[in-house]
DNA sequence: GCATATTTGTCCGTATGTATA
DNA sequence: CTATACATACGGACAAATATG
């Protein structure tokens, strides 16, 4: 039996086993784990025991180990030799690095724009999703929508490799958010700015959007670094 | 320790099997294959048959498959479900994407510099290695030195994730070089420019270096795209 | 510090599904 | 259509390292 019984929705793996599955089992398992990590079901720092997951998902150890490899390379898991795999726990340095990259990539993608870009629709949808999530007080979804918005910004650069990079960057960022105490306080204040950036892009003002974005990202970084410092103070 | 016997001989992995290796067997195997691919021993488009490599290296299929996973994620191999793994054969679009990223990252790393950076020594060494390789007419090494030089430039940004990204980008670039007919004609002309860029950095003129770099990369991209077009014309 | 149980690392043989000659 | 070769996934085995008492 290959059904995960979680609180909300079980994920069936056998659904397309036997049929012509487009993906391998290891990748499907990796998808499941990735989702669980993104949701915070496996919090940063926790260990993923082979035996448990093998039993729960009804797969072999070798297959699971391949999934672990995939996720380790995405920096979502850290693999310690002979000790096991753990959900990564990011340091302040990591946060700084993530934001350095976001500033570089997102601004570079937006700045050259001189006319309303093709990807604008996607951005609008993300912004509206964020507004709606905030109104319904679903803060987890607000964070997701916000990430989609910025992923859309990076995608304006139209580079598949950059898109890949940023997908990883944002997945790591989710790990940061999970150690943050109050997702509402963090995400809510940026809703207005998202609208402003879209407005700039709407009139083809890429440079203006990039400037807004740079300030935006500096603010967010500062807030996160402070939160991390507080957490460190609590720990001591 | 992994000993590679350069010319013909297979690779001795069993030397440290049983001992406490710092890295896993799969990673060591991946290292070997990565080197082979970089050297052109496995040319782009060729298939890597499981049983051959298993036999040559004296490892198990599962271990090799883990290595394949690693290299597939680095975009050096393409993994076609139920068909096997192949050394990637890059398209013109790939070349354009690679250079778009190089321009973005390398220039962004260099431009903010206002004083002679710490990584200058590494750059000098790469440049001198290139000069020496050219004098000895070792064109393969010239290409390697050139890549090290640009890796050093990207490293000025001091971001571990960017370093990772660029390591992958340059590994892919090597695949492009392997389909190029004449490595000498391609690499030799850039030796002088490397010196010019170092000179700019030497006086803390990051902006000047970035401007040189942008022209440099545009030229190199154009040359490669043209060579690809020629090759496509020959094939038809 | 020591002996134990648990967990991971590595590898094999095999059954099944899939593509190609 | 059959035969062959190969990839996928599984279960089991044993060694090595770690955690536990």
Q: How many CB atoms lie within 10 A of CB B21?
A: 16
Whole-model pTM: value is: 0.84
Q: What pLDDT is stored for residue B16 in this prediction? A: 34
Q: What pLDDT is stored for residue B48 in this prediction? A: 83
Taking residues B170-188, report their average pLDDT: 83
Share of chain A above pLDDT 90, in %: 69
What is chain B's mean pLDDT, rounded?
81
Say whether pLDDT at A232 is over 90: no
Residues 6+ apart with CB under 8 A from A158: none
Q: What pLDDT is stored for residue B232 in this prediction? A: 62
**Residue A98 to chain B, least CA–CA distance (Å):** 8
Comparison of pLDDT for B56 and B1, the residue scoring more: B56
Residue-wise pLDDT for A140-157, tens only, equals: 899 999 999 999 999 999
- The residues pairing with A79 across neighbouring beta strands, listed in sequence order, are A85
Q: What pLDDT is stored for residue A186 in this prediction? A: 83
With contact defined as beta carbons under 8 Å apart, do A139 and A133 qualify?
A: yes
Comparison of pLDDT for B20 and B219, the residue scoring more: B219
CA–C1' gap, A81 and D15, in angstroms: 15
Tell me whether the CATH fold assigned to A2-87 matches the one assigned to A92-235.
Answer: no
Comparison of pLDDT for A1 and A27, the residue scoring more: A27
A104/B105 Cβ within 8 A = yes
Residues B230, B224: Cα–Cα separation, whole Å? 10
Fold of B92-235: 1.20.120
Residues 6+ apart with CB under 8 A from B162: A101, A104, B105, B109, B154
Comparison of pLDDT for B53 and B196, the residue scoring more: B196
Domain boundaries, chain B: 2-87, 92-235
CA–C1' gap, B112 and C13, in angstroms: 59
For C8, nearest residue by CA–C1' is A82
Asked if B69 is an interface residue toward chain A (Cβ–Cβ < 8 A), one would say yes
Tell which of A165, A167, A175, A214 to mutate to test the B interface (max B CBs under 10 Å): A165
Structure tokens at A51: 């035996």
B98/A161 Cβ within 8 A = yes
Residues A209, A214: Cα–Cα separation, whole Å? 9
CA distances from B19 to B1, B16, B64, B95 (A): 10, 5, 19, 42
First to last CA, chain A: 45
Structure tokens at B38: 């970089």
DSSP E strands, B5-131: 47-48, 77-80, 84-87
Can you give the C-alpha Rg of chain A in angstroms? 19
- The lowest-confidence range among A25-29, A45-49, B13-17 is B13-17
What is chain A's mean pLDDT, rounded?
86
Q: What pLDDT is stored for residue A234 in this prediction? A: 65
Starting at the edge strand found earlier in the chain, the sheet holding A47-48 runs A47-48, A84-87, A77-80
* Domain at A2-87, CATH class: mainly alpha
């Amino acid at each position: 039996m290959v059904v995960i019984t979680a609180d909300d929705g079980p994920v069936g793996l056998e659904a397309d086993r036997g049929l012509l599955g487009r993906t391998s089992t290891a990748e499907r398992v990796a998808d499941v784990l990735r989702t669980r990590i993104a949701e915070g079901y496996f919090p940063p720092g926790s260990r993923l025991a082979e035996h448990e997951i093998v039993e729960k998902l009804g797969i072999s150890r070798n297959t699971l180990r391949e999934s672990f490899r995939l996720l380790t390379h995405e920096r979502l898991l850290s693999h310690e030799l002979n000790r096991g795999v753990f959900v990564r726990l990011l340091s302040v340095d990591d946060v700084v690095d993530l934001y350095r990259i976001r500033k570089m990539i997102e601004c570079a993608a937006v700045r050259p724009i001189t006319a309303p870009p093709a990807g604008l629709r996607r951005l609008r949808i993300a912004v509206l999703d964020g507004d709606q999530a905030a109104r319904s007080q679903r803060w987890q979804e607000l964070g997701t929508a916000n990430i989609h918005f910025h992923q859309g910004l990076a995608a304006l650069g139209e580079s598949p490799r950059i898109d890949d990079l940023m997908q990883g960057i944002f997945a790591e960022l989710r790990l940061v958010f999970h150690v943050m105490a109050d997702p509402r306080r963090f995400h809510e204040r940026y809703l207005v700015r998202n609208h402003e950036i879209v407005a700039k892009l709407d009139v083809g003002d890429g440079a203006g959007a990039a400037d807004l974005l740079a300030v935006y990202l500096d603010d967010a970084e500062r807030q996160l670094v402070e939160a991390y410092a507080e957490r460190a103070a609590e720990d001591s």
